Structures are given as C-alpha cells and as structure tokens.
Structure 1
Amino acid sequence: MAVETTIGFGGTGLMGAAMVRRLLQAGHRVMVWNRTPEKAAPLVAEGAVLAADPAELAQHCETVILCLTDTRAVAQVAFGQNGLKGLNSQTGALRRVVDHSSISPTATREIAQRLKAETGADWVDAPVSGGIAGAANGALVVMAGGEPAAIDQASAAMRAYARAITRMGDSGAGQVAKLCNQTVVATTLCAIAEAVSLAQRSGIDAAALSTALAGGWADSVLLQTFVPRMTTPPEHSIGALATMLKDVDNVAEAMQVADVHAPVLRAVQERFRQGKSQGLGEADLSQIVRVAKPA
C-alpha cells in the first residue's frame, strides 16, 4: 500500500491519540505535536516522531491533521508563534490542513481564507462523529468542508480511522454539519436524562430502560450507550460535559446567524450551563443526569 511520506498530527488527546494509532497501524509515518509533549510520549514509543512545534509539522508534512479543543486553540496553532504559518508553501512541505476540531463555522471560513492567502495551503474542516471508540475502531464519520480536490487528497489519511467521509460543501460546511449532529446528540442526551430520572423517581428499574425500549422508536445508539452510564457512574469518560457545552454554544450562535427559531436548543443549552455551574464541567457526558433543578 502506498503511503504519504509523513503525516503531521497536532493535538494528541484521547481522540487524537486514537487517530494517530490508526494511522500508524495503516503504515503511515506520523509526526506528532502536542501542547504538553509528555502526553505524546506513548505515541512516540509506538513509532511516531515528536515535533517541537506546529511549524516543524508544516516543514516536513504535506498533510497536517488537527484535533484541538476550541476555536482559539486552532487559530493559535495556525497563526501563533511557531504555528503552521511559520512556513509557506515555498519553504515548507505543507499543502493542506485537515481540522477535526469542532469549532465555529464563521471562524473556520476566516482561518481557511487567511491560510490560503498567506501560505497557499488548503484548509479542510472535517469534524467527526463516533467518539473515541469510533476512532479506535476505524469507524468515525467525517463531515467535510472545503475544495473537493483537497478533501480527496486528505482522504487517504482519514480512511485509516473513518468509515465514511462526506463532503458537505465549501469551507465551513463540515462544521455546520457537525453542529447539526450536536444539536441532535445534546438534545437526545437531555431527553434520556429526564427519562432515567422519571424512571428512578417512579420506583422502576431505570437500568432496564435500554432493554425495554430496544427496537422501539425511542431506541438509538445514544440510548443504549448512556442509560447504563447514567444509572451506574462510569469509570472512564467518553466526553466531558463542558466540551458538549462548547459545541452547544456554537450551535446557538449558528442558529441565531441563520435566524432559526430554536427554543428546544436554548433549553438544552441552559441545562448544560447549569451542569457546569454545579461543578460537572469535567464529568462524563452521562452525568447530565445529575444536574439539579435551579433553586
């Protein structure tokens, strides 16, 4: 199998690390960078090469993949000191950036235009759905925005951890699609939390809901995943409540820009905000079930 010389990867948190491992298993050579280098050490032990900064990724890699926390982090990696912009297309290898972060569509368009103008490199916004397990199993779903040729060229790497890659449109379209995804996910999580609470306070076995509702209209991957996690606190997190709140805030902004009437989303946003204010920001997503009623 032909592989690209070296793929750069910035952001080796739980999701990013799972993606890098899939790239290595597929035979790619991978250069990694993380703001906290120690967190990338296990990947180096497995065969990745450590970069000192994003500029070094741009120096050696035609494709650089990002998986970062928020819009500010993405902009800093792209244009900050020792960022990707440190080298342009004439002095470095960089030809395209694939951003798996979930950030604002408006900011994405601005970043893409600026990077293209200042370096000649293409920007592909490519948020994902499927969680850490999906990344580890090569089953992520990618929603991509950008030039068709750039997405096609980046797909060789993404196929190491994605089962489906769908171009949604021009720059920013992938992020809009992810916000649609998060609208459904966040709203469904709140509905499941309320159903579990109703079952518990009515004296029935809430843990049995995943079996009782299986195959019916209420059944879903989210129901089967989160009823057990809401009724028995999980040992390991598959996503932080605060991270979902960041996405919900981006959804609310996009809804306002698009002039969409969204009373349900606003109620969901308030519930996640309450959870963060009650100290659950770093708790697993399932712990939205613990959000107390306002005083």
Structure 2
Amino acid sequence: MKIGFCGLGRMGVPMVRRLLQAGHQVHVWNRSPAPVRQLAAEGAQAHATPRELADACAWVALCLFDAAAVESVVFGADGLAGSGSLRVLVDHSSIPPTDTRIFADRLAQANGAIWLDAPVSGGTGGAAAGTLAIMAGGPADVCDQVAPVLRAYAQRVTHLGPVGAGQVAKLCNQTIVATTIAAIAEAVALAQDAGVDAVRLTEALAGGWADSTLLRIFVPRMTQAPAEAQASLDTMLKDLDTVAALARSQGTAVPVATAAGQNYRLASRHGLGAADVSQLIRLFDRAGDRA
C-alpha cells in the first residue's frame, strides 16, 4: 500500500518504520528535515510540502502536536487540502473533538476527502513494537478499509462512532493515565519519605488491586529518571486542558482530573515541561535535586 505520513516526532518515526517493515511504500513530510533524511535513508520517499505528498498518496496519516499544527499542515499554504488526490486523512494527533469535526467538514468541502480521527495510546515503545491501541472516529467502512494498514503499528483498531468519537476516547484514556501517574508519584514520594525503598513497590504490589501496567512502567522511571523522554509533561498537560474544556462544554464533573492537571501545570511552571511524564515525581521531592 502507498501511504503518506506527516509528523515525524517521537511517535511518527517508529510508526513510519513499522509501515516500511510491513512492506508499504511510505511518503513522508516533516517541518524539520532531519527525521525526513533519516527515514529516506531507510526507504521512505521524501516530499518538500504536504500538498506534494498528498499528490502522490490517496491516503495520508498525521501525527502532530496540537490542533494548530494539524490545521497548518492540512489547510495552510501548500497543505494537504490543496491536493485533489487525497481521499482519506487519518489523524493520529490528540486534538479537541470539536476541532476534529470542524476540520473534517472543511476538508470534505475542500476536496471531498474523508477524515478519520485515530489517536493512539501506547507510547513510543508501543509504536516501535507495533502494539499501539487506536481509537477511531469516522465512517465505519473507511475505518475498516484502512485498519489493515494501521495494524503495522497497532495491535487494535477500535471504531467508536462518527468523527470526533476517537478523540473523546483518547481524552478518556488520558484522564485515566494522567491521574494514575499522579497517584503513583504521590505513592512513591510517600514511600521514600517513610524510608521505604520505592523501587520495590512494583514487587510488593504485584497481583494486588494497585498493580497495573502504569505502576510497573512508572515506578522504575520515577526512582531512576529515564535518559530520554517518551512522553512529556507538557503533552499530558495539553491533553488534560482539552479534557477540562470538553467537560465544561457538556457539564461533566471531573474533579480528579482537574486536581491532577494542576500538578502537571505546576511541573511545567517549574521548567519540567519537556521532561518525561514520570518526572512529575520531582514536585514531591523534598530535596529538589532528583536527577
């Protein structure tokens, strides 16, 4: 299959690699050139603009930071919407459901292409291993058509309803993940302040009700800071702000997510925004000198 991919960040690069390994012909564009050169050396076809990429591919996937980046790449000068060849746009970015619906309507009016919102969960490790979970919104038949291609990097593609439904599911995911990470940080700090080796919490809690994938991943990352961020605190804050906005718009009470969001905002104010999300623990470090 020939597919385009725009957005070669922490997630995009391993996703494109998985597509290449699956035998697909992948066309790539990115605002900064370094990852384009890297993937071109591995077999991808590089393009100078998103529109040029879309002229070569009927299906294009995006993995961008926020709604502003998505709007620019799709509707800006030399954007994807300017191509008459584009038929399906698969957006793996995490953006507000309202923006997704607006963008889908604009794209349909511009060139008749169909928008699938398909945010992912599983981090860079899941992208590299091909085990991401994809939550999709849009026409079910189109989702079924593209799902075999998406399974190059996803173990599961779940269609949830019309355009925007995938983004709502991703916000539910982020609500659970962000609040759980905040709770784990408090538990690690509680153990450390009591003189208990927090590293052993995963062993001690294994099989109990507190055991979880997040516990097993984040206790080690909180007790020994990772060399490289897999997901940043600012990215999580962005998503929690979107959760809060959606909750306000529909009158949903989200007191736990709101409280957790203040921790992420405080971490960002302390200059930790680019750090791995596990480094939320540094808010609770009395010495203030955790590596």
> If the TM-score is normalised by the length of the shorter chain, which range does it land in?
over 0.9
Q: Distance in 2 between matches of 1:196 and 1:72?
A: 36
Secondary structure of the residue aligned to 2:11 is: helix
The equivalent of 1:216 in structure 2 is 208
Aligned residues of 2:4 and 2:61 also touching (Cα < 8 A): yes
Question: Residues 205-239 of structure 1: CA distance to partner in whole angstroms, max 9, x if unpaired?
Answer: 01100110011100111000000010111112111
Query: Deviations for 1:233-284, whole angstroms, at most 9, x for unmatched residues?
Result: 1112111100010011001111111211111111111110000000100011
* 1:292, distance to aligned residue in structure 2 (A): 5.1
Counterpart amino acid of 1:58?
A
**Is residue 274 of structure 1 aligned with residue 257 of structure 2?**
no
Note the C-alpha offset of 1:39.
2.1
**Structure 1 equivalent of residue 152 of structure 2:** 160
Q: Distance in 2 between matches of 1:14 and 1:260?
A: 32
Instruction: Give the aligned partner of residue 16 of structure 1.
Output: 12
Give the match for residue 221 of structure 2.
Answer: 229
Give TM-score scaled by structure 2 length. 0.96
Give the CA deviation at 1:156: 2.4
Runs of 4+, deviation exceeding 3 Å: none
Counterpart of 1:42 in structure 2: which amino acid? Q
Deviation per CA, 1:176-196, whole angstroms, max 9, x where unpaired? 000000000000000000000
Please state how far the C-alpha of 1:150 moved relative to its aligned partner: 1.6
> 1: distance between equivalents of 2:144 and 2:113?
15
The 5 Å alignment of 1:144-155 reads 144-155=136-147
Give the C-alpha shift of residue 42 in structure 1. Answer: 1.2
Matched position secondary structure for 1:123: strand
Given that 2:82 and 2:110 are in contact with CA atoms closer than 8 Å, whether structure 1 keeps it comes out as no
Is 1:26 matched up with 2:18?
no
1:76 equivalent to 2:76? Answer no
Q: How many percent of aligned residue pairs carry the same amino acid?
A: 55
SS of 1:217's partner is: coil
State the alpha-carbon separation in 1 of the partners of residues 278 and 74 from structure 2. 33
Task: Check the 8 A contact 2:186/2:284 in 1, yes or no.
Answer: no
Distance in 2, matches of 1:13 and 1:78, equals: 17
2:59 equivalent to 1:98: no
For structure 2, the 5+ residue unaligned runs are 286-291
The root-mean-square deviation of aligned C-alpha atoms, in Å, is 1.0
Unaligned runs of 5+ in 1: none
| Distance in 1 between residues matched to 2:258 and 2:19, nearest whole Å | 38
Aligned to 2:129: 137
SS at match of 1:141: strand
AA matched with 1:244: M
Query: For the residues of structure 2 that align with 1:44 and 1:212, how far apart are their CA atoms?
Result: 46
Rounded to whole Å, the distance in 1 between the matches of 2:241 and 2:232 is 15
C-alpha deviation, 1:127, in angstroms: 0.3
- Correspondence for 1:239 among 231, 235, 245: 231
Structure 2: distance between partners of 1:138 and 1:271: 31
| Residues 105-139 of structure 1: CA deviation (Å, up to 9, x unaligned) | 00000000110111100000000111111111111
Residue 58 (str. 1) matches residue 54 (str. 2): yes
2:39 to 43, 64, 81: 43
Q: In 1, distance between residues paired with 2:136 and 2:269?
A: 33
**SS in structure 1 of the partner of residue 130 of structure 2:** coil
Query: Number of aligned pairs?
Result: 285
